[in-house]
Structure 1
Amino acid sequence: MWLVLASPVYALALNLLLASVAGLLVLLLRYVAGSLPVRGDFAPTSAALPAVPSTAVDIGIPGTAGADELEVSTVVEIALQELEVSTESTESTSRRRPKELEVSTVEETPKGLLDSGSTPLTGHSQTFARQFTGRSPDFPSRPGHCFRRATSSCQGVYGMGGYSQSNRVLLCMVGLPARGKSYIAQMLERYLRWAGFPCKIFNAGSLRRQKGMAGASASFFSGQDSEARALREEYALECLEEAISWLNEQTGVSVAIFDATNTTKRRRKAIMVRCYETKGVVPVFVESICDDPKILEENYRLKAGNEDYRGQDPAEARQDFLERVGAYTQYYETVTDDELQGQVCYIKLFNVGEKVIMYHCAGYLTSQIGSYLSNVHISPRSIWLTLPGESDDWKEDVVGSQNTSGKLTESGTRYCQALAAFLSSRRSRMKEAGETGAELLVLMGTAPVHGATLDAMSSWRSGKGLLGSLFCLDATGTGACLDAPSSTEDASGPKMEFSAMSSSLLNELDGGDFTGKTLQELEVDFPEVWVERMQDPLHFRYPGPGGESYSDVIGRLRPIILELERQRRSVLVISHLAVQRCLYAYFTGCPMEDLTQIELEKHCVVELRPGPYGCTTTTLGLLGEKQQ
């Protein structure tokens, strides 16, 4: 009797056990076939694999229809069918995927594109137009891409994580002579190279002078002489070809700057047509418009001293240059939205930073360029770079952050007070000269020694009053409004001439697991890490949580660079060696491969004076050290 009652229960338990084993077998076979997402892959969508026809399998529960015993062979047969289907689907899907995710472009100029009465772009031409203007193209749906595939054809850029597509950009300057085009081009080249983008300037005027046309008079640039006009066009197009040839030699993200006047729509149309013929080159026009008399007068003075007027009387050179500007003005056409049926991409600058207009600049690189140009200006100012004052735990050649105590030595305190006196003297000199840079902003990291350096500066007393009442640390990084008088003589009301901000962006390079170790210990105890570091010091990243490379530091310093360019005030930057090297390399245009070898001495301040023809640097030892 008990055996009869136990038989259904036994059968049910056995069926459930067999079904569980069969289910695990199906999952294992699917995993081996690759139909389940592996860690690091995106989960496949319904379009990635065709749906497998569902097959009902009765488990054999008593009291239900079809309560027959489960046949294990049936489950295995179904699993093998699913394995075969999923394998075929995976192979067919991989065949559909392109080897590289690149933006598709049109090899030939679309018919009717340059005609005045042509119809709007459609179909494949629209796809190219989106790539032409920097917008994202309409990729067909490609489900199931993993991260490794998605980044295999991408160019790694500092701070980008490898997400930048391999586009090449041709920046074409536009504007009348003496409007700051070359100055803007040089600033862009310096910034882009520092940020990790290969960049090179191609100047049409330099090419003309190399061809033996240096010292050409204003008549050469007038529109009356057809022969001279044809010669200018020839030189400009030759310079353009050099820029495009250089871009074609680059394998990833790169920028060529075509520095010429490009003042007519006909010239700009020819440039865009030439870029249509070249795969992956996106033209972006950067127009500089200036009507400020002070800026123009200074530009005219500087232009009268260039190679075209070498050895000439300054007054005669200035008059000839003004005639050249007048000749260009007669046929100057500003960039408009409707050029090339509205597919033009441009950035307009008014008076070098007063106002910026951007059109069709939706791509990453073009938006970065526009953001940078929105912050530049030509107001005179100084930028001072200094290491923090010497602390009790100061060590030479230490990896990563240090100086955790924040307690300065006697020498460190004396340096901070000498630095405060130096800044007070410089500020007075700028104020007498009427420069806007007479006001001061202090930027520093969040390490204790940075705050101790500022506190020691605040303790310095001059004969006119307490400088310390003018410094205020705002740990939130939002800035501090200071309401103390700058001296006892001008205590008539609130002042905002000094402020301080701290940011972790200015902290030292993180050494990961090797933080606090000296370079000598690294060489002796970890020879493999040392060899890797010496082979590529710019991109070597220290192992361990939080470990950084110099390229990582450059990436996080981009907002600091924009802040330094935006400021009309003079700025003092207090930070450790790696950050100081990166900032110094940006302003001086130091080759990136030499960045890690820049020497900055303790208890010295580096004074930077950005100008139209580069940045002048002066190293000052404030405790009697040698000055450079």
Structure 2
Amino acid sequence: VASPLLLNRKNIIPGVKPLLSKKSSTHDDSEYGLNVANETTRAARSGSMTRAKSAESLKKLEETTILTPKDLFIAPKLPQAVVREYSTNSVLLAARTQHFGGDLVTQEHQEREKQGGHRSFVATPSTEVRPQRNGKLMIILVGLPGRGKTFIGHILARHLTWMGHATRVFNTSEYRREYVGAAIKHDFWNPENTADYQKREEISKKCLSDALDALAGDDCTCVVFDATNATVERRHYIREEVSRRSRCEMLFIESICDDPELIAISINEIKLNSKDYQKNTLEEVIVDYNQRIGHYNSIYRPLADSERCSFIKVIDVGRQMFCNQVYGYLQSRIMFLMANLQIRPRPIWLSRHGQSMYNTQGKIGGDSLLSPHGAQYAQQLDKFIAAHYPEDTRLSVWTSTMARTGQTVERIAARGRTVVKWKQLDEIDAGICDGLTYPQVAEMYPEEYLARKQNKLHYRYPRGESYQDCIHRLEPVITELMRLDRPVLIVAHQAILRVLYAYLTNKSPEECPTINIPLHVVIQLTPKAYHCEEVWHHPM
């Protein structure tokens, strides 16, 4: 392993420990040669840096000689131990300088990219020659009707898009409604109905073709092909067609469900939300839909190892999973997501903390206590929750680690409920602007004030965070929310609740920084397969 990061020929002396092997201090800024102790009197989180200091430190790179992995390995006089230590520290440096936001753009990242930063070369032996891919992914859903495929497709598309992988869903049912119509009876899917077989084939091929066209564009990283894909022959055709037209990875996800309760939930959702059954009673829907399932069941063949493809089998929407040939970061991330699915509807209650002393003064951030008005809201919230969930009912309560949220749920905790504190639920870090009012920010840091107004999603406070940072650190919270099978009350902060609200109501990440989440309001969200029910309450 070797890295082209800051390797200077004149500093590599046999028998002398390289400069990069020096242990870093508790502040990651020290790796840039900065004296962080004297830089500012305001508290800051480690790993952050102002743009000005970042630019100064980058000038030192111009004096270094960049070595390629080939140059490093042909140096015969270097002891092997030194090479190993040098390589290890180079990779660690690359990891430390990569901010966890991933796709965040700052001056520091742009300059380091020009200098060859943020890249490491890793050579590993391989016995299998895998075709070179373009970093894109097609997810092909498999399963009988009513098994939660559409639910899985929507969950995947939303989650991957929010985590920085633009994803679109292509659903054959939507294409069928457009080309044939919505009010179609079960006979349309009868395998012996040769008259409609050709229509179904054309619809499926058109949907697949459009999915591949979207994947070929620059604004789409993943696509979800949502169809039954019930036969081995159909799946073989898909693999051949995708391989012919694209160099993307393929991942099959099969949903198998024999739980009567889950199937009943799925059918009920179809009755309420599908255009196919808008004029039918629930009894008529159950009869017709079960007959449609029967038609597919006669030809359905589950995925098998003999098909030689990457796939994930999801049993009863997350109760059990089987994985085959799952490779790479993105597929592994999807596998983890599939293990945390929950289709049963349950309410998620969102509330900001009671009004804080900083709120009364218009200040940003901080860790102030509640104002008298905020303490009154804490009392009313306790009564509101007790009315909906008596002490013998199940309810999870989550808060941040900050004082104002802890005060807001004190009375709820006193009733014997366990309160889980998440560091990830802490308010967005305002960095050097923490404790200031917005007029003060405009006066002291006019450039920062304007930059934030122009792009609130990606703007990062100096020595602080952006909304995109918050989205990434909230991923564990979101995953746990998807897994939880009981109601949950989340008492947090405006920026955090903006992200959670936008995610659960299927809004785009670009919308979240401008959503209004007022104080002293409880938002009740109930995620379902096709939509999210929403009710706003005012306990005060």
TM-score range, shorter chain: 0.7 to 0.9
- Give the 3 Å change call, closer, same or farther, for CA 228–373 of structure 1 in structure 2: same
In 1, Cα distance between the equivalents of 2:424 and 2:444? Answer: 30
Runs of 4+ in 1 over 4 A off after TM superposition: 36-53
- For 1:487, the equivalent position in structure 2 comes to none
Q: Is the 8 A contact 1:394 1:403 kept in 2?
A: no
Which residue identity does 1:383 align to in structure 2? I
Q: How does 1:82-97 map to 2 (within 5 A)?
A: none
- For 1:280, the equivalent position in structure 2 comes to 247
- Give the 3 Å change call, closer, same or farther, for CA 440–298 of structure 1 in structure 2: closer
In 2, Cα distance between the equivalents of 1:274 and 1:589? Answer: 31
CA RMSD for the aligned pairs? 3.0
Are 1:526 and 2:445 an aligned pair? yes
Please point out which of 214, 225, 247 is paired with 1:258: 225
Please point out which of 522, 525, 537 is paired with 1:620: 537
Larger radius of gyration: 1
Q: How does 1:50-129 map to 2 (within 5 A)?
A: 50=74
Please point out which of 458, 463, 471 is paired with 1:539: 458
In 2, Cα distance between the equivalents of 1:195 and 1:320? Answer: 39
Q: Is the 8 A contact 1:177 1:325 kept in 2?
A: yes
Which residue identity does 2:355 align to in structure 1? E
Mean CA deviation greater in 260-269 or 220-229: 220-229
User: TM-score, normalised on structure 1?
Assistant: 0.65
The structure whose RCO (Cα within 8 Å, separation 6+) is larger is 2
Q: How does 1:440-589 map to 2 (within 5 A)?
A: 440-458=395-413, 468-470=414-416, 498-544=417-463, 547-589=464-506
In 2, Cα distance between the equivalents of 1:249 and 1:594? Answer: 23
User: What secondary structure does 1:216 align onto?
Assistant: coil
Which residue identity does 1:148 align to in structure 2? G
Count matched residues: 439
Q: Is the 8 A contact 1:173 1:181 kept in 2?
A: yes
Which residue identity does 2:376 align to in structure 1? R
Q: Is the 8 A contact 2:503 2:509 kept in 1?
A: no
Are 1:375 and 2:343 an aligned pair? no
Q: Is the 8 A contact 2:433 2:461 kept in 1?
A: yes
- For 1:244, the equivalent position in structure 2 comes to 212
Query: What CA deviation, in whole Å up to 9, does each residue of 1:276-334 have, x standing for no partner?
Result: 12343111111111111122233334434532233245544432222211110000010
In 2, Cα distance between the equivalents of 1:241 and 1:151? Answer: 37
Query: What CA deviation, in whole Å up to 9, does each residue of 1:234-292 have, x standing for no partner?
Result: 1111100101100100267x111111110111111111112212343111111111111
- Give the 3 Å change call, closer, same or farther, for CA 558–275 of structure 1 in structure 2: same
- Give the 3 Å change call, closer, same or farther, for CA 251–147 of structure 1 in structure 2: farther
Which residue identity does 1:278 align to in structure 2? R
Shift of residue 211, structure 1, vs aligned partner: 0.7
- For 1:384, the equivalent position in structure 2 comes to 349
- For 2:386, the equivalent position in structure 1 comes to 424
Instruction: In structure 2, list runs of 5 or more residues that go unmatched.
Output: 1-8, 14-18, 21-59, 78-113, 122-132
Shift of residue 148, structure 1, vs aligned partner: 2.6
Shift of residue 227, structure 1, vs aligned partner: 3.4
- Give the 3 Å change call, closer, same or farther, for CA 450–244 of structure 1 in structure 2: same
User: TM-score, normalised on structure 2?
Assistant: 0.75
Shift of residue 395, structure 1, vs aligned partner: 4.0
- For 1:194, the equivalent position in structure 2 comes to 162
Q: Is the 8 A contact 2:141 2:252 kept in 1?
A: yes
Query: What CA deviation, in whole Å up to 9, does each residue of 1:92-116 have, x standing for no partner?
Result: xxxxxxxxxxxxxxxxxxxxxxxxx
Q: How does 1:76-475 map to 2 (within 5 A)?
A: 147-148=116-117, 150=119, 167-250=135-218, 254-304=221-271, 306-312=274-280, 314-339=282-307, 342=308, 344-395=309-360, 398-399=363-364, 401-404=365-368, 406=369, 408-428=370-390, 438-458=393-413, 468-470=414-416
Shift of residue 521, structure 1, vs aligned partner: 2.0
Shift of residue 146, structure 1, vs aligned partner: 7.6
Which residue identity does 2:312 align to in structure 1? I
Q: Is the 8 A contact 1:275 1:282 kept in 2?
A: no
Shift of residue 182, structure 1, vs aligned partner: 0.8
Shift of residue 166, structure 1, vs aligned partner: 6.0
Shift of residue 216, structure 1, vs aligned partner: 2.5
Which residue identity does 2:351 align to in structure 1? T
User: What secondary structure does 1:234 align onto?
Assistant: helix
Shift of residue 597, structure 1, vs aligned partner: 0.6
Query: What CA deviation, in whole Å up to 9, does each residue of 1:516-561 have, x standing for no partner?
Result: 12222222332211221122110111113xx110000111110111
- Give the 3 Å change call, closer, same or farther, for CA 396–579 of structure 1 in structure 2: farther
- Give the 3 Å change call, closer, same or farther, for CA 146–445 of structure 1 in structure 2: same
Which residue identity does 1:381 align to in structure 2? R
Shift of residue 594, structure 1, vs aligned partner: 1.2
- Give the 3 Å change call, closer, same or farther, for CA 397–207 of structure 1 in structure 2: farther
In 1, Cα distance between the equivalents of 2:195 and 2:70? Answer: 66
User: What secondary structure does 2:305 align onto?
Assistant: coil
Q: Is the 8 A contact 1:392 1:403 kept in 2?
A: no
In 2, Cα distance between the equivalents of 1:611 and 1:43? Answer: 54
In 1, Cα distance between the equivalents of 2:507 and 2:118? Answer: 35
